[in-house]
Amino acid sequence: MELVRLELKNFLSYREGELDFTGLHMAALVGPNGAGKSSLLDAITWALWGRTSRLDQDQDHLIHRGEKEARVRLTFRLGENVYQVTRVRRRGKGNIMLDFQMLAPRHRSLSGSGIRETQKEISRILQIDFDTFVNSAFIRQGRADEFTTKTAAERKEVLADILRLDRWAELEERAKGKIREIDTELDNLNWRIQEHERELQRRPEYEAAFRQASTEHLARQEEREAAEREWEALRRDEERARVVRERLRDLEGQQAEIERNLAHLAEQIARLQESLGRWRELTSRREAIIAAWKEWQQAREALTQMEEASREASVLRERRAELEKRIAVARERLEGERRRLQAEIEAITARAARRSELEVEATDIRRQLNERAALEEEIRALREQWQALQAERGERQNENRRLHQEMKDLEARIQAISQIGAECPTCRRPLPEEERIRLQQEWTLEGRRRGDRYRENQARLQAIDQE
């Protein structure tokens, strides 16, 4: 923590005062007893923790005689950040106001919903409490030997708070846990590598099985192609059989049509014979001979037509008998062909079932080979990733060591020119004020850039440890 400014109003013996610590690396408060030297130190501790070295019981005594309130405002720098604490005490129980703000690099309020939460935030930022501060960085008047008079346990506790030994213990436990995790992960990786190496030792066996399966697969492929050719021939025969069946249905339809025509002709003959009988009966009567003759002529013509139809029916019957014979022959041939095709289909089906089993075996062998190749690739990728992470870790650690040294050098150079009239670190000549401010701003900006890079590397190193 670096003090920047202290402002007091009605605090103890000070009615109003201000101290600017800018540019000071060491300061001495000199004066007779009762001049108010200790009051300034009390103002610092009271602003930060609400406690002083002498008057903690009744804090109304902090208020200057005759005034109603006391106010202390302390501005300090911690790292790259600038903070400001303002504490006000009014006469009367509980009349306290506490405000905590960050001024740089950006302004924002850090005050909580109450005094207790605000004080907790101040202690968190400072990383030190009042007792540790007064026993390490501040010796109260008349109590110079307080640290030496404490018990061993109390001194150990104070030193632990000063040096933040609990933080190192926590880091040690985290490092041990991380080492255990890495050892476990390495054991797992070694086990997986051994498993993969055992699998690699069986590579000739897998390759021989794969070659045998490939040979069997080619043989089954040839059998499949032959079966497909046979199936195609059967399909063509089936197509021809379908055409014959359709032709047979057409002939059966024609036969039915002929039979219907024959029945119709038989009905016509019967009707004509009946008509002829009637005409013969009429010829017995002379009066109707001419008419009967005419009717006879008509009947004769009809008979001629009937005889012609009878001859056509006879031809159709002969054709029908011939077609029935051809249909029977075709049916017998198709039935034999069907039985032969059915036997071939059953044989092909049996061979196809055996081919499916072989294809399953070949697929399983190919899957095992693919898994083996994937395992080899995973091992190689893990090794490359581990080597890359180790290389990156080394590079970033080296860079952080270099950045840390450079930031220390920049800080020393900035401190060397922080006072007005400082000399140039290179040529040892007094620097003009503008040049001094320019160099100070330039080196400060450069230090911030190196700090950002340093924190970026630290974050990446933590990410690498987590990976």
Assign residue 58 a region: left if phi > 0, alpha if psi is -120 to 50, beta otherwise?
Answer: beta
**Number of structural domains the chain divides into:** 3
Query: What percent of the chain has a predicted confidence (pLDDT) above 90?
Result: 9
**Where a domain ends, among 350, 365, 386?**
386
pLDDT of 68 above 60: yes
Label residue 24 by pLDDT band (50, 70, 90).
confident
Rounded to the nearest integer, the mean pLDDT of the chain is 78
Q: What is the mean pLDDT of residues 430-446?
A: 83
pLDDT at 189: 85
Q: How many contiguous H segments (helices) and E segments (strands) does the chain have?
A: 9, 6
The enclosing domain of 95 has a CATH number of: 3.40.50.300
Beta bridge partners of 7: 18, 73
- Which of 14-23, 57-66, 266-275, 336-345 shows the lowest per-residue confidence on average (mean pLDDT)? 336-345
Q: Is residue 210 one of the residues assigned to a domain?
A: yes
Residues 103-108: what's their mean pLDDT?
91
Residue 285 pLDDT greater than 70, yes or no: no
Rounded Cα gap, residues 223 and 234, in angstroms:
16
Question: Do 314 and 409 share a structural domain?
Answer: no
pLDDT, average across residues 181-194? 85
Provide mean pLDDT across the span 307-329. Answer: 66
Do residue 230 and residue 272 come from a single domain? yes
- Percent of the chain topping pLDDT 70: 72
> What are the Cα distances from residue 33, in Å, to 10, 13, 55, 141, 334?
20, 13, 18, 11, 137
Cα distance between residue 329 and residue 30, in whole Å: 141
CA–CA gap between residue 361 and residue 367 (Å, rounded): 10
Per-residue pLDDT tens for 112-169?
888 899 999 998 998 887 777 776 666 555 554 555 666 777 766 666 655 555 666 7
Residue 156 domain flag: no
What would the pLDDT profile of 345-404 be if each residue is shown by its tens digit? 676 666 655 666 656 666 776 676 677 667 677 767 777 877 787 788 888 889 888 988
In-domain check, residue 85: yes
Angle at 381 between CA 376 and CA 384, to 5 degrees: 125
* Residues 232 and 365 occupy one common structural domain: yes
In a domain, 188, yes or no: no
Could you identify the residue written with the tokens 């109450």? 114
What distance in Å separates the CA atoms of residue 70 and residue 60, rounded to the nearest whole number?
9
Q: For residue 369, what pLDDT is reported?
A: 63
**Same domain? 419 vs 457:** yes
Residue located via tokens 């109304």 = 60
Same domain, 311 and 429: no
Phi, then psi, of 113 in degrees rounded to 5: -75, -15
Residues 6+ apart with CB under 8 A from 340: none
Task: Quickly list DSSP for 114-174.
Answer: SHHHHHHHHHHHHT--HHHHHHHT---TT-TTHHHHS-HHHHHHHHHHHHTHHHHHHHHHH
Whether residues 357 and 222 share a domain: the answer is yes
Domain holding 106, by residue range, is: 2-127
Mean pLDDT confidence for 45-64: 79
Q: pLDDT value at position 144?
A: 47
- Are residues 213 and 356 located together in one domain of the fold? yes
Phi and psi, residue 140, nearest 5°:
-75, 150
Residue (of 190, 253, 215, 223) closest to 386 by Cα position: 190
What are the φ/ψ torsions at residue 22 (nearest 5 degrees)?
Answer: -60, 130
Among 316, 351, 386, identify where a domain stops.
Answer: 386
β-bridge mates for residue 70, sequence order:
89
Residue 100: which pLDDT band, with cuts at 50, 70 and 90?
A: very high
Domain end point (choices 386, 408, 435): 386
Cβ(329)–Cβ(244) below 8 Å: no
**Based on the domain organization, do 378 and 406 belong to the same domain?**
no
Q: What is the pLDDT of residues 234-265, one digit of tens each?
A: 888 788 878 878 877 887 787 778 778 777 87
11 in any annotated domain: yes
Q: Which residues pair with 77 in a beta bridge?
A: 2, 82
pLDDT for the residue 425: 67
Same domain, 213 and 297: yes
Q: Are residues 316 and 228 in the same domain?
A: yes
Most trustworthy range by pLDDT among 238-242, 288-292, 328-332: 238-242
At residue 5 the predicted structure's pLDDT band, cuts being 50, 70 and 90, is: very high
Statement to judge: residues 316 and 441 lie in one domain: no
pLDDT value for 436:
80
The distance from CA 292 to its chain's CA centroid, rounded to whole angstroms, is 112
pLDDT of residue 289 exceeding 60, the answer is no
The structure's pTM equals: 0.36
If asked whether residues 448 and 369 sit together in one domain, one would say no
Instruction: Give the CATH number, domain containing residue 398.
Output: 1.10.287.510
Which pLDDT score, from 0 to 100, does residue 210 have? 80
